[in-house]
Each structure stands twice: as C-alpha cells, then as structure tokens.
Amino acid sequence: MINTIKQALENSFSYTEYRNEIANLIGEGKSTGHTQTEDLFKYSVLNETRMNRLEKTIQVSEEVKEKLQNLDKNYIWLVLSEGWCGDAAQIVPVINKMAVITDKVELKIVLRDDNDALMQHFLTNGGRAIPKLIVLDAATLEVVLDWGPRPQGAKQLILDYKAANGVVDETAKIELQKWYLHDKGNSIQNEIVELHEQVLS
C-alpha cells in the first residue's frame, strides 16, 4: 500500500496543474482518462465552466477555517479524480479552497485511470467511484481517513432516485447538480472536517 501511495504521489498534480491538464486536453478535443468518447469530452467542457464558477463563488465557513488551521499535524490530501466527472467538478474546487487556507494541508490530485492500483484500495461498493479523498499523515504517508465520492445528501438523492426510477439518467444528473448548487459546498466542508475530528478524538 505504501509503495502504491508513493507512486501515486510521484504522478500527482497540484490543483493548478490539474486544471491546466484538463484545459490542455480539452484544447486537443480530448478528456482525461483512458477512454475517449464524445460524451466524456462534452462533460469535460461543461465541468470546466462549473469549476471556474465554483472557484469564484465557494466560501469556506469561519468554523471550518478555524478547525483546519488548528489541525494537530501536517496532512497530504490525495484526491482521485477525472476531468469528465460531474461530482469531481463540484467537489475538487471545494477541497482546494479548504486546503489553501491552512498550512497543515497539501493537496495532491491524481487521475483515476492512471492510478488504478491506488483506486483498487478505495472502491465504493466494488466500484471505482470518484472523486475519492485520501487523507495521509504527511510524515509517515499512513492513511488516516478517506471520504467520497459524494457528500451524504447527494448520495441519498441518487439512492432515492434510483429506488423510484430504477435508473440514474440525465434527469437524475440534473437534480444532482441542483443539489450541489443549493448546498454551496457546505456539506463537503463539514463532512471532511468532522471525519478529521473523529480521527483525532
């Protein structure tokens, strides 16, 4: 596991590098990932707009800011993501906003398809769902906790929709994006900080 984490960190991007990688691929008519389709490319373009908006609008609450600045030690937040993923577009900019307000956290992002060995350790119900936040002790690279791929409210929305309709379709995805828009990143912030507190207590 430790070697897998070290290898992933060697392959990792800063948030700025991650955004640049996605933008450069879009410029070539491509998406991140090992599969290239017209739909994935369209989602990547749409997600660029979402991330640009979130970077301007997302605010970290004072309570969360204080808790992050008072963390007991230094951590690496390692995120598995892809540019075409709608959840990642809503979540990764929030995680970045949280990371930049404290010197206790360094954010690293890796592409899921390029880091399958790491992904296999953090499956959700057997699936390679992203984004996935893996919190590492910066000194030892020990996994402290993991979070994702969605905040609880978003997860429940999709579960309820699937139970009622038998499928997750475009309507479900639209409802999910509305949920993120209304939540303004608050659930993401609170859930990640609460997990940190549980580990420390």
Which CATH number does the domain housing residue 172 bear?
3.40.30.10
Q: Are 95 and 79 in contact (CB under 8 A)?
A: yes
Instruction: Reply yes or no: is the peptide bond before residue 149 cis, omega within 30 of 0.
Output: yes
> Of 201, 185, 13, whose CA–CA distance to 115 is shortest?
13
Q: What confidence score (pLDDT) does residue 199 get?
A: 78
In residues, how long is the chain? Answer: 201
Distance CA 121, CA 111 (A): 15
Q: What confidence score (pLDDT) does residue 19 get?
A: 98
Q: What confidence score (pLDDT) does residue 198 get?
A: 85
* pTM (two decimals): 0.96
Q: What confidence score (pLDDT) does residue 164 get?
A: 94
Q: Are 98 and 105 in contact (CB under 8 A)?
A: yes
In the chain, the number of structural domains is 1
Beta bridge partners of 75: 105, 137
Q: What confidence score (pLDDT) does residue 201 get?
A: 55
Range of the domain at 40: 2-200
Q: What confidence score (pLDDT) does residue 32 get?
A: 98
**Residues with pLDDT less than 50, the chain:** none
Q: What confidence score (pLDDT) does residue 121 get?
A: 97
